[in-house]
Chains A and B, each alone.
Chain A
Amino acid sequence: MIDLLTLAVAMADLPLGITEGGSWFLRNAWLIPLLPALSFVTILFFGKRMPRGGSELGIAVLGIAFILSILTAAAWVDHRDNYHGEEVHASVVAVDHGESGDHAEAGHGDGHAEASLAVVSTVTWFQAGGVEFSVGTLVDGPAVMMLLVVTLVSLLVHIYSTEYVHDDRRYTHYFAFLSLFSASMLMLVLSENTLQLLTSWELVGVCSFALIGHWWEEKPNSDAALKAFLTNRVGDMGLIVGVSILFFIVGSALPDRFGSFSIAETNALAAAGMLPHTALLVAACCLMAAVMSKSGQFFLHTWLPDAMAGPTPVSALIHAATMVVAGVFMIARLYGVFFSGLSIGGSSINLMAVVGGVTTLVGASLAFVQRDIKKVLAYSTISQLGYMVMALGVGAWTAAMFHLFTHAFFKACLFLGSGSAAHAVHSFDMKSDMGGLRKVMPHTYKTFVIASIALAGLPPFAGFWSKDEILAGTGGWGILGGTGGNGAYTLMLVMGMVTAAMTAAYMTRCVYLTFHGEYRGHGHPHESGPRIIVPLWILAGLAMVAGLLNLPSGFQLAPGSLQERFGHFVEPVAGYFPTITHATPSWSLAIVSTLVVLAGVAVAGRYYFGRVEAASAAAGQSLTELPDGLTTRSALAMKGYTLLSNKYYLDHLYTGIIAGGTKGPVAAAAYRVNQNVIDRTVDLAGETAVSAGRFVYDKIDQIVVDGIVNASGRVSSDTGEELRKIQSGKVHDYAAILFAAATVLAGILIVIV
């Protein structure tokens, strides 16, 4: 902390990497969240009277927001390279805590010589106790990218929903909350300070709760909504604590302010090494707790699969593309804090990377044993979020953001495709109600397969480029002769590779069970309408080509101008972003990862497309697994299967042991203490007071006090009674007294005088 013995505190001037000038769109980006917020209110109050129940307003507003986002992105593309305005500096107390020294200089080895200044516009909300609370927007690369993603996916989901929840019992309400969610998410990505981030974080949590429990009349749905909200609450404690810690340690570095919520200032100070390392570490760990709950990392991921109880478009929007990536986005936003706090640069293991890596494995392993198609996709989402967090943990920031970008498209496509299939067969159970749907739902089948390939990571689809960049970014390949990176995270590389294989395998399983074989259900499935098909194709198309936005630098097959377009515009080069190194991708890594993925596809393909297909033909009915499979032959395999199908017994732990233990013994003990100890103390106090009062009354008041009063009266009357006898009325007595008194007086006088 500040050395208080120095008489003159040295001040330094810290460039923050933000500016307050810029194009109109960049300065007024707050309009983009405002429109859906207004549509929320309007739909809520007037939606029932609209001809289409409020959905037309939602779609229109999201369309306008999407157009505005495109214009803002265009403005940003222009701004990023061509803006030469005034940069905002902060006057800080110059204490060097020995972290990364230079910042905002042209220290990148990849040719990003120009600094990109983010556009900040704020208004002061109120001031209290010397702290200024402001609301505003911070528009830079990641914010613009997220604007595009959120508005586009939200718009497509709106259109899709008009057919999916047609004739629903709460149609208007659904669209109102979709609008509110969009507004909250947009506010989150544009947040200028951590307080705003926190508020919109909570708001998206509330919308998630409302939308998961959309059909709350059935108890499992409301249970799932509560589980989601409460699990998120557990993590949010970390967010609140982390934000508070950051507020105060930033305040200690700013000379005349209590603290600051500003993201730019926090990151700049952290990146410049002016914040104490231990405090940053603690704050980073607290924020990690929030990320673990919101972005479904192990071990707070248990709410995500249950959240599939909500309508499928909701799952696509919230639990695949946007809300769950809020945690990833938060890490990306406050990357200065995490990079310094967790010492990401130059080490081989840290908390974030481990959590991310374990999550990928856990998610992928659990996806193998699901019957419900949405749950497969939910675990897949958990796994992919683990990839993003792991990428951030190894320092591959651009890779993580790019994966977020591509994942939004192909995961949303997968969810909407599963929704389409389920809408046709009126069930989500793959094993009992689906199968052979490729013949009757060709569009759904094709888009689903395209998105699955993108997810698995086969070139040239989007997932390959982003996943490969993550694997390169771990830096672990360098040991085997290859690339640079921020550290040597070999373990993460291994985890990533294994998971890639598993991803390919379970998606193959899912495709087979849903679309291949023979139809096992009882209805008459048919292809869905255009309002479902068109969004599916849009998203599938994006899943195919989005990867080309970030071709690795040095890629010989593409023109130089296309290389690293995404990274150039999205990654900040500014005072508020730490200096990170970028790994050089290598051909060998790309080939090995592709082979790993193909191996996964091959193993699963041989099992399902080969042996199960043959067994079905032999048995005359559509089978979903081999009757004499591994689990029936090996007890160990059966045990493994049981472990997986019980979700690693985590739900057991949370509900049964932790919650049940608190509800049962702890609550009973607390009740006993309350009744016996606390109540008895209070009763005792009362009884003591009563008996004291009674004692005082009986003994002291009645006997002593009254006795004294009575006695004084009695003494007076008795004395008077006695003295009265002197007045006998007889002269002799008076004379006797007279003479006696006179004599006595005379005697006294004689003696004395």
Chain B
Amino acid sequence: MYLNQFLLLSAALFAIGVYGVLARRNGVLVLMSIELILNAVNINLVAFAAFGNQLAGEVFALFVIAVAAAEVGVGLAMILLLYRNRKSIDLTQIDLMRG
């Protein structure tokens, strides 16, 4: 197995995640795309851990999962609040901070 195949896989997932963040209207879906990105990063980390025969990469990947969980919790809470106030979570409609 080549290292590169894992890395390229993770890069592809990352790119798709970026596309998802930029191209989705629904807030929840944006959060999901972010999860995709984080997972790609995880794959990257673990691949390097296997490549270098060390466990630091795996530990880091565990931490990333924990952080992702926390972030999703807070993010969804904000989305809910947004929905409560505006009755819509269409991110393209939210531009009160427009210059």
Contacts and interface: CB of A to CB of B under 8 A. Distances in A.
Q: Do chains A and B touch in the complex (CB under 8 A)?
A: yes
A6 interface: no
Given A735-B21, A736-B22, A739-B18, A729 B91 contact: no
B18 to A, nearest CB: 5
Nearest to B34: A735
Contacts of B91: 730-732
Nearest to B91: A731
Contacts of A736: 22
B21 A730 contact: no
Contacts of B99: 724-729
A728 B95 contact: yes
B98 interface: yes
Interface string B64-99: 000000000000000000000000000110111111
A730 to B, nearest CB: 5
Nearest to A727: B99
A730 B18 contact: no
Interface in A693-736: 724-732, 735-736
A731 B30 CA distance: 10
A731 B23 CA distance: 11
A729 B18 CA distance: 19
Contacts of B97: 727, 729
Nearest to A730: B95
Nearest to B24: A732
Contacts of A731: 30, 91, 94
A10 B6 CA distance: 122
A728 B91 CA distance: 12
Contacts of A728: 95, 98-99
Nearest to A742: B18
Nearest to A736: B22
A727 B92 contact: no
Contacts of B96: 729
Interface in B1-40: 18, 21-23, 30
Contacts of B22: 732, 735-736, 739
B95 to A, nearest CB: 3
Contacts of A727: 97-99
Contacts of B23: 732
Size class of the contact patch on chain A: 10 to 19
Contact of B94 (A724, A726, A729): A729
A727 B91 CA distance: 15
A736 B18 CA distance: 9
Contacts of A732: 21-23, 91-92
Nearest to B19: A739
Interface residues of B, number: 13
Nearest to B25: A732
B94 to A, nearest CB: 7
A731 B91 CA distance: 7
A729 B30 CA distance: 16
Nearest to B98: A729
B90 to A, nearest CB: 10
Contacts of A730: 91-92, 94-95, 98
A728 B99 CA distance: 6
A453 to B, nearest CB: 132
B83 to A, nearest CB: 15
Nearest to A720: B99
Interface string A569-597: 00000000000000000000000000000
A726 B99 CA distance: 8
A729 B95 contact: yes
- The listed residue with most B CB atoms (<10 A of its CB), out of A725, A726, A731, is A731
A743 to B, nearest CB: 9
Contacts of A725: 99
Contacts of B92: 730, 732
Nearest to B30: A731
B34 to A, nearest CB: 10
Nearest to B96: A729
B62 to A, nearest CB: 25
Contacts of A724: 99
A736 B21 CA distance: 8
Interface string A203-235: 000000000000000000000000000000000
Contacts of B94: 729-731
A174 B97 CA distance: 113
Contacts of A739: 18, 21-22
The winner among B22, B91, B96, B98 for most chain A CB atoms within 10 A is B22
A712 to B, nearest CB: 22
Nearest to A732: B22
Nearest to B18: A739
A730 B94 CA distance: 6
A353 B95 CA distance: 123
B22 to A, nearest CB: 5
Nearest to B21: A735
Nearest to A724: B99
A366 B94 CA distance: 129
A264 B98 CA distance: 111
A731 B82 CA distance: 14
A724 B97 CA distance: 12
Q: Which of B18, B23, B94 gathers the greatest number of chain A CB atoms within 10 Å?
A: B18
A719 to B, nearest CB: 13
B88 to A, nearest CB: 14
Nearest to B23: A732
Nearest to B27: A731
Nearest to B97: A729
A410 to B, nearest CB: 124
A739 B23 CA distance: 13
A731 B27 CA distance: 10
A739 B97 CA distance: 20
A729 to B, nearest CB: 3
A731 B95 CA distance: 8
B78 to A, nearest CB: 12
A735 B21 CA distance: 8
Nearest to A743: B18
A732 B90 CA distance: 11
A727 to B, nearest CB: 3
Nearest to A739: B18
A724 B91 CA distance: 20
Taking each of B94, B96, B99, which has the highest tally of chain A beta carbons within 10 Å of its own beta carbon? B99
A725 B23 CA distance: 19
A725 B95 CA distance: 12
Contacts of B21: 732, 735, 739
19 contacts: A725-B99, A726-B99, A727-B97, A727-B98, A728-B95, A729-B96, A729-B97, A729-B98, A729-B99, A730-B91, A730-B92, A730-B95, A731-B30, A731-B91, A732-B21, A732-B22, A735-B22, A736-B22, A739-B18
Given A728-B95, A730-B91, A730-B95, 15 more contacts: A724-B99, A725-B99, A727-B98, A727-B99, A728-B99, A729-B94, A729-B96, A729-B97, A730-B94, A730-B98, A731-B91, A732-B21, A732-B22, A732-B91, A739-B18
* 4 tightest A-B CB contacts, nearest first: A727-B99, A729-B95, A729-B98, A729-B97
